[in-house]
Amino acid sequence: MKFRKGVIVALTLVGILLIATGLYITNMKRTVAINTFRFIPEKPDDFEAVKREAYAGTISMCNVDEEYYKQPEFYPSWKNAKRMYEEYSWSHWGRHGYTAFPLSMTYDVENMKKGDEINLCSFFANGWAVWTWQGFKLKPVENEFFSIDITPDLFVLDPTYPIVGDDYIKKITLKITAKQDIPLGTYEVGFTDESPSDYFNKKQTELTLAQQVKDKPLWIEKCTEITSDKEKCTELVNRREKSYSVGGKWKTENLPLTVVINAK
């Protein structure tokens, strides 16, 4: 069978193209993908509208459902944190920290009497790109005019790396009750975070070690893809997996939540 020169050239180019395509597909297959956000609910179509109204205060944070507040994009801190997931450095790892939203609320009351209540909600999450389960105890910041009940006030948050866990965030409910008739003026209350008890931390360490981590080989593979050092990556993952940390040890300048009450 005879081929014209043009046909041979064309077939050669096709062969080169197929080889190049094959190499490209092979490289694509070698790229390790970690489904970091697999526990995050599907984002609702009206997410931006609900976020807008929650930020404006026209709807209560208590009325924001988890398919909205579990979205990382719901929080201002995500704007800077996002790059930690896009350009993750395996040489460093997050062990402590939290993110809270909103940091402050203002609430106006009129003629508030002893026993009257204010019900508010905020959100408290594990820090971004944190490998550890963290235990927290929330403590009311009260005064002579107001008492506060916090629900929940003792909990453990799931890691946010390499997988953002289903329970990485809590909706916090505050019931603020007037201890007496409230005079005109401005008052500040809220909550702070502290370390849980030694017994709680010991129990949670045991429970964390009992966790099943199915993705460990994938994490090592992803780290190796980036660093080309499987031995080092295995050591890093072994050191980081199934780790529980005690929250509340490192205080930020501001409270996780400050509520300013204007009595008019």
pLDDT digits (tens, 9 = 90+) for 32-56: 788 999 999 999 999 999 999 999 9
The yes-or-no verdict on residue 1 having pLDDT over 50 is no
For residue 175, list its beta bridge partners: 119, 149
pLDDT number for residue 149: 98
Q: What is the dihedral of CA 251, 166, 204, 175, to 10 degrees?
A: 60
Domains of the chain, each with CATH number or no CATH = 75-263 (2.60.40.10)
For residue 132, count CB atoms less than 10 angstroms from its CB and return exposed for 0-12, middle for 13-18, buried for 19 or more: buried
pTM: predicted TM-score of the whole model, two decimal places: 0.85
What is the tens place of the pLDDT at every residue in 138-164?
Answer: 999 999 999 999 999 999 999 999 999
248 vs 14: which has the higher pLDDT: 248
- Which of 69, 190, 93, 198 lies closest to 135, judged by CA? 198
Q: How far apart are CA 151 and CA 154, in angstroms?
A: 8
Give the strand pairing for 169-178 and 98-101. unpaired
For residue 93, count CB atoms less than 10 angstroms from its CB and return exposed for 0-12, middle for 13-18, buried for 19 or more: middle
pLDDT number for residue 252: 72
162 preceded by cis ω (within 30°)? yes
The yes-or-no verdict on residue 8 having pLDDT over 60 is no
Give the strand pairing for 104-109 and 146-151. unpaired
For residue 147, list its beta bridge partners: 177
Q: Which of 39-43, 72-76, 246-250 has the lowest mean pLDDT?
A: 246-250
- Quick one: average pLDDT of 192-197? 95
Q: How far apart are CA 202 and CA 86, in angstroms?
A: 34
pLDDT number for residue 240: 94
The yes-or-no verdict on residue 229 having pLDDT over 90 is yes
